Amino acid sequence: MSLRAKDGFDVVDEAATAVIACEQAEGDDAAPWTWAAFIEKVADLQHRRQRQVVSDVTLQIYDRSPICTHALAKYLGRPVPEKLSAEIDRITRERIYEQQVFFIRNIGFREPTAARRISFQESLLFERIHEQSYRQYGYDLVDVPVDDVANRVAMITDAISQLASEAEAPADSTERSRMEPPPAF
């Protein structure tokens, strides 16, 4: 994600890629996402990162959330572990994330990496599952259509500014001003 503290944002990086990279670096497995405990490891890292964020930046953006991990479990054909269900319950109960989620659409191609080996067609299915998971849990998707990175970042920055100014305006609402993670495909 190209939004950083210099822009007034604290971005919490994606956990699944970090878990995969760590396991691959340790030489344990070239494909840790095949492990039964993989989803729990990702959910645990997301939980720790969310709890550990300490920053003087007023806005936090999460590059993925437990809802994304839910989508990953569904995509992999795995049951949703109790640990992940409990984390989703907690983030819902505590209203950790805003209801508006930046949903970054695919760019029309897929370049495999060590952590992402799915095809473009598989990525389209994964995108649909993400969308379904977020809607299932009641999130409002803010569509970020195909465009170059600079324009997408500008769109997100403008949307955050607008939402933040609406939250600061006197109103009867007690809405918060943090934003949910932007799934990137």
Q: What is the pTM of this model?
A: 0.77
- Between strands 100-104 and 59-62, the pairing is unpaired
Q: Compute the distance between CA of residue 180 and CA of residue 141 in angstroms, rounded to an integer.
A: 10
Highest mean pLDDT of the ranges 45-49, 83-87, 161-165: 83-87
User: Which one is predicted more confidently, 151 or 114?
Assistant: 151
Instruction: Decide: helix, strand or coil at residue 141.
Output: strand
Instruction: Determine contact, residues 151/144, Cβ cutoff 8 Å.
Output: no
Check whether 84 has a pLDDT greater than 90.
yes
Cα radius of gyration (the chain): 16
Among 164, 156, 161, 159, CA closest to 182: 156
Check whether 181 has a pLDDT greater than 60.
no
Instruction: Determine contact, residues 110/52, Cβ cutoff 8 Å.
Output: no
What is the mean pLDDT of the segment spanning 44-73? 81
